[in-house]
Amino acid sequence: QKEVEQDPGPLSVPEGAIVSLNCTYSNSAFQYFMWYRQYSRKGPELLMYTYSSGNKEDGRFTAQVDKSSKYISLFIRDSQPSDSATYLCAMSARGNNRLAFGKGNQVVVIP
């Protein structure tokens, strides 16, 4: 079992819809949780960074962490064609700074 599971299936939504992405993980030591956005032939760009459980909102983006269920989510409201990209979840444990990544979700927002 991989440390971080993210269903890589492509996701197509109409413009204006809510995009919902999630990851599960197995390592209970993970305390830092991130979402990255990656455009084609570019490096991952940090979108959201949260510590431990709870919600964090930044503009149209909301990140949720449920440590009891080992489950994290990213919601994108009022999705735009410019949101079309691959979204990667990542996490790390205190004392171990390497990031463990999910495989990424390709999102296509259709105008």
Partner 1 sequence: GAGVSQSPSNKVTEKGKDVELRCDPISGHTALYWYRQSLGQGLEFLIYFQGNSAPDKSGLPSDRFSAERTGGSVSTLTIQRTQQEDSAVYLCASSQSGYQPQHFGDGTRLSIL
The residue count for binding partner 1 (CB under 8 A) is: 21
Binding flag, residue 94, partner 1 (CB under 8 A): yes
Identity of residue 3? E
Binding flag, residue 32, partner 1 (CB under 8 A): yes
Identity of residue 64? Q
Burial of 39-64, coded b for 16+ CB within 10 Å and e otherwise, reads eeeeebeebbebeeeeeeeeeebbbb
Rounded Cα gap, residues 91 and 81, in angstroms: 27
In the complex, the smallest distance separating the C-beta of residue 96 from partner 1, rounded to whole angstroms, is 8
Q: Which of 65, 72, 85, 100 binds partner 1 (CB under 8 A)?
A: 100
Binding flag, residue 45, partner 1 (CB under 8 A): yes
Chain residues binding partner 1 by CB under 8 A are 32, 34, 36, 41-46, 49, 88, 90, 94, 97-104
